[in-house]
Structure 1
Amino acid sequence: METTKIQSGGGLNVTLTIRLLMHGKEVGSIIGKKGETVKKMREESGARINISEGNCPERIVTITGPTDTIFKAFAMIAYKFEEDIINSMSNSPATSKPPVTLRLVVPASQCGSLIGKGGSKIKEMRESTGAQVQVAGDMLPNSTERAVTISGTPEAIIQCVKQVCVVMLESPPKGATIPYRPKPASTPVIFSGGQAYTIQGQYAIPHPDQLTKLHQLAMQQTPFTPLGQTTPAFPGLDTSPPASTHELTIPNDLIGCIIGRQGTKINEIRQMSGAQIKIANAMEGSSERQITITGTPANISLAQYLINARFRDVAAMWNDPSSMTTS
């Protein structure tokens, strides 16, 4: 088997890092209730297993350790996913069991070695392990990494991962790698009583980060219609407050940073806030432009926050502390 190659070179003491890309549901399964599952995996495999933070639809699971501990961790993950598939099938009429699928994140500079000349290496992996292996043609957004999807029975996946590890050890990445970082979920954000909330399913989850702090700053600096309700409103429900209008005046020399190149920034603010935003044409002799924001109080307050945050970004870029306090 391929691993003998590593063993003969003392490779079982070689520390390797493998990154996996998982959906939120898969991550939940790996973490388990109160973190019990991942704790057990760490203890029994001896590998370090780290899960990226953040409210993202995708998360990165990093497994680090000597190769034998990595194989144990992978085996535990593959069997856990198979268990999840069996459990989900007991509630569905499907008769054929879908394969277990893992997505590895591999530096693009190593993908050529995984594929081999004319696809010879990837073909050999498929044939010798029985697993399906696919290397994505495109790099993952804002990175120099590609997704390598391995699917099959847990046993096939484990054998395949061993072979992938061998290739990665034999062909280290060339040049600097820009790691893939999943983007946060673009869940709607609503404001109520000075607190930001994100909508997840049917629930509003408090959003405890800088958004709220910045929003409170924006509220202090801009007169706005406060929300009447103390509980967050859900989009799509008839209980949402009626639409209202708010007007802002912006100095002419700052309007460009709100509009952005070809209107990109203002369109982004419209999309994120859900408010209608109209910018009046420049009036002769006037040094200011009128902005009219229409929508529910929550839409308006979010639009104002985003406009204020845009001023802060620009002020920070100018590195002028005085302009940051008057934004």
Structure 2
Amino acid sequence: MESTESSYVSSPEEVAMKRTPPPPTDPAEKPTYIRFLVSNALAGAVIGKGGSTITDFQSQSGAKIQLSRSHEFFPGTTDRIIMISGTIDETLKAMELILDKLLSEIHAEGDYEAGTRTKVRLIVPNSSCGSIIGKGGAIIKSFIEESQAGIKISPLDHNYYGLNDRLVTLSGNLDEQLRAIDLILSKLMEDTHYKQTMSVPFSYAGVFFSAFHGMPYGHVPPVAQMAPSAVSYGPTVAGRKFQNNKEDQSNSVTIGVADEHIGLVVGRGGRNIIEISQISGARIKVSDRGDFMSGTTDRKVTISGSQRSIRAAESMIMQKVAYASERLMD
């Protein structure tokens, strides 16, 4: 008895299609990202009035551009973080737009002359730096030669527990920097560790400075009682009432600063610490002379406010202390 079911024979073309794997995805179309630093003073130029500039740059490039908030700095600096994400072409286009805008701002302020080599600091995970250094530094040397930009990779800063990023500084003119960024980003896209770090662009909440007696961010010790004559500095920005905000008054961290460094932290007439207080929104108290952290000769510095403002203030104080330490070593 013959079967009534009809049989179907594939054509040679269909057989070939089944056997041939799909073409590989073009690397240029894969999503990537890049992070770099911008000074707090120049961040406004990237944002524009009402966000107009950053919106325009996103529209022109097709990339997504994120900027850390005014009190969120890279550890040890007072610089904010810009993250650009998209395809490699979109990312490079956005990078070009932003760097060109920053150059025009510097030029307008009279701090830039034609032909001047400027610097851009990229943030790269420590685990991915090996891929752009290469065996015996072969890859980074080839990048320097091909781009004509200076490329320096900072060591991992062990002063900040929990910090797993390094800074890659590119020096040169805009074209040289962009060529170097293209080479570096293309190489980073081959690294699996780099792709895994894309989800958390700005989080340094677990990072704290090892030289201080302060606790890691998030730990809230009781407020230290300061001497009646202790110097107190609070934000005086018009229109901002920090005392009435429960969040700003709910946290307090006391850290120790070496007595020989406290003068540079405070500044002449309190100028430095007043500025730190105004930028961060935190209230800062410095203990009187002779009032030290228990068992040390470190002065007490109590920072109160929201956790964000405490982080910002502590980061700026760290920078002052680091600078003071460098001066003593010279």
Q: Is the 8 A contact 2:131 2:191 kept in 1?
A: yes
CA shift, 1:98, in A, is 2.9
Match of 1:35, SS state, is helix
**What's the TM-score, normalizing by structure 1?**
0.54
Per-residue CA deviations over 1:92-123 (Å, capped at 9, x if unaligned) read 6x866432322111111110111111111111
Q: Who is 2:19 aligned against?
A: none
- SS of 1:69's equivalent? helix
Could you say which residue in structure 1 is the equivalent of 2:235? Answer: 198
Q: Find out whether 1:88 has 2:109 as its counterpart.
A: yes
Whole-angstrom distance in 2 between the partners of 1:110 and 1:59: 22
1:1-327 counterparts in 2 under 5 A?
A: 9-56=25-72, 57-89=78-110, 97-139=115-157, 141=160, 142-173=162-193, 181=203, 198=235, 204-205=237-238, 207=240, 212-213=245-246, 236=269, 272-276=284-288
Larger relative contact order (C-alpha < 8 A, sep ≥ 6)?
2
For 1:98, the aligned partner's letter is T
Counterpart secondary structure, 1:273 = strand
Distance 1:210 1:118, change over 3 A: farther
- 1:128-153 CA distance string (max 9 Å, x none): 11111111112483321111111211
Give, in whole Å, the separation in 1 of the partners of 2:242 and 2:31.
Answer: 35
**Contact in 2 for aligned 1:20/1:60 (Cα 8 Å):** yes
Q: Distance in 2 between matches of 1:175 and 1:217?
A: 37
Consecutive unaligned residues in structure 2, runs of 5 or more: 1-23, 73-77, 208-232, 252-267, 271-282, 292-300, 308-330
Query: In structure 1, how many angstroms separate the alpha carbons of the residues matched to 2:142 and 2:247?
Result: 55
Whether the 8 Å contact between 2:163 and 2:204 is mirrored in structure 1 is: no
More helix by share: 1
| Residues 1:58 and 1:278: Cα distance change in structure 2 (over 3 Å) | same
Are the equivalent residues in 1 in contact too, given 2:83–2:201 (CA < 8 A)?
no
**1:48 Cα deviation (Å)?**
0.3
Counterparts of 1:217 and 1:19, CA distance in 2: 32
Deviation by residue 1:81-100 (Cα, 9 ceiling, x = unmatched): 221232233xx6x8664323
Distance in 2 of aligned mates of 1:215 and 1:161: 40
Task: Note the C-alpha offset of 1:209.
Answer: 6.5
Partner of 2:284, secondary structure, is helix
Q: How many residues align?
A: 212
Structure 1 stretches lacking a partner, 5+ long? 1-7, 185-195, 219-234, 238-270, 280-301, 310-327
Query: What secondary structure sits across from 2:192 in the alignment?
Result: coil
Q: Residues 159 and 20 (structure 1 numbering): CA distance in 2 closer, same or farther, change over 3 Å?
A: same
| Cα distance change, pair 276–36 in 1 and its aligned pair in 2 (3 A) | same
Write the letter of the residue equivalent to 1:128: E
Using a 3 Å threshold, how does the CA distance of structure 1 residues 209 and 133 change in structure 2: closer, same or farther?
A: farther
Match for residue 265 of structure 1? none
Q: TM-score, normalised by structure 2?
A: 0.54
